[in-house]
Amino acid sequence: MMEDFKQRLLENGYFRQEELVFRDCDREQRVRISALLSKLGAFAGYDYDARGLTHDVLWDNREVFLLSRAALRIHRCPRAGEVLDITTWEDGARAAHMRRNYEMADQTGQVLVSARTDWILVDPVTRKIMRPSAFTAKPIGRWDRPLDCPETRRISLPKEGREILESRAVRWSDLDGNGHLFSGNYGDIIWDALPEDLQVQYPLEFQINYSREAVLGDVLRLEGCRGEEGYLVEGLGPRGSCFAALCVF
């Protein structure tokens, strides 16, 4: 049965196995949101690498992807030592965004985490955002497969009722190969700033918008508030809002 499940994944999407180790998890041995966000970027890269479209190839073509939005639904929290079967597939384009979906399943085939992401196409030299139709490396695929996950959307905090959480400088170890704050690291920054009563809880859903790049030396002012859906966090940098996130508990 498991072999049949794996074969279906291989036929319809990019497939890898990955074991969760202690560095992926919090003190309760639950996978950190930052680790899940990191896997979104990594497995999109693995998919394109397998097609010969490595980061260097895309950079030379002056066509690189930046993560713009992500939405996750946690059906069951993955834990240290579990092995995840991670599938990712393209889901076409919408306006300026190229869409990619994910499922992270355990070894019985039960889906533990579902995710949707939106990506923007950028010229790495000029930093200009391009339309999906400008992508020349390959056609953008679409697999019409059901996914139990909320749609990505714009997240906004109200102007009133915010609390100042903390300030956080972008450090050398926060940076990725593009020279900006790595998309996965936002999860740890958010959790370090949450009110103490929420830090120990695990979210049922998590959404994040990446608005502006944060680079070495930038100081993010983190503000939050409790809303009807959950807890909202915004990171404000020297050039404006860098991100906004929603944690649903």
CATH number of domain containing 79: 3.10.129.10
Whether residue 83 lies inside any domain: the answer is: yes
What distance, in Å, lies between the first and last C-alpha atoms of the chain?
Answer: 34
Per-residue model confidence (pLDDT) at position 182: 96
Average pLDDT over residues 116-132: 93
Report the Cα 92 to chain-centroid distance in Å. Answer: 18
Average of per-residue pLDDT values in the chain: 92
pTM to 2 decimal places: 0.91
Helices 185-193 and 33-50: angle between axes, nearest 10 degrees: 170
Per-residue model confidence (pLDDT) at position 4: 59
Percent of the chain at pLDDT > 70 equals 94
165-195 pLDDT, tens per residue? Answer: 999 999 999 999 888 999 999 999 999 999 9
Tell me, yes or no, whether 173 and 128 share the same domain: no
Tell me, yes or no, whether 208 and 101 share the same domain: no
Whether residue 202 lies inside any domain: the answer is: yes
Question: Is residue 30 predicted with pLDDT exceeding 70?
Answer: yes
Whether residue 155 lies inside any domain: the answer is: no
Whether residue 145 lies inside any domain: the answer is: no
Which structural domain, as residue segments, surrounds residue 218?
A: 163-248
Whether residue 154 lies inside any domain: the answer is: no
137-173 pLDDT, tens per residue? Answer: 898 888 888 999 999 999 999 999 999 999 999 999 9
Whether residue 84 lies inside any domain: the answer is: yes
47-94 pLDDT, tens per residue? Answer: 998 888 998 999 999 999 999 999 999 999 999 999 999 999 999 999
Whether residue 85 lies inside any domain: the answer is: yes
Per-residue model confidence (pLDDT) at position 14: 65
Tell me, yes or no, whether 122 and 212 share the same domain: no
Tell me, yes or no, whether 33 and 77 share the same domain: yes
How many residues can be counted in the chain?
249
Per-residue model confidence (pLDDT) at position 12: 54
Tell me, yes or no, whether 168 and 210 share the same domain: yes
**Residues near 11 by beta carbon (within 8 Å), at least 6 away in sequence:** none
| Structural domains in the chain (count) | 2
Tokens encoding 160: 């009133």
Tell me, yes or no, whether 110 and 33 share the same domain: yes
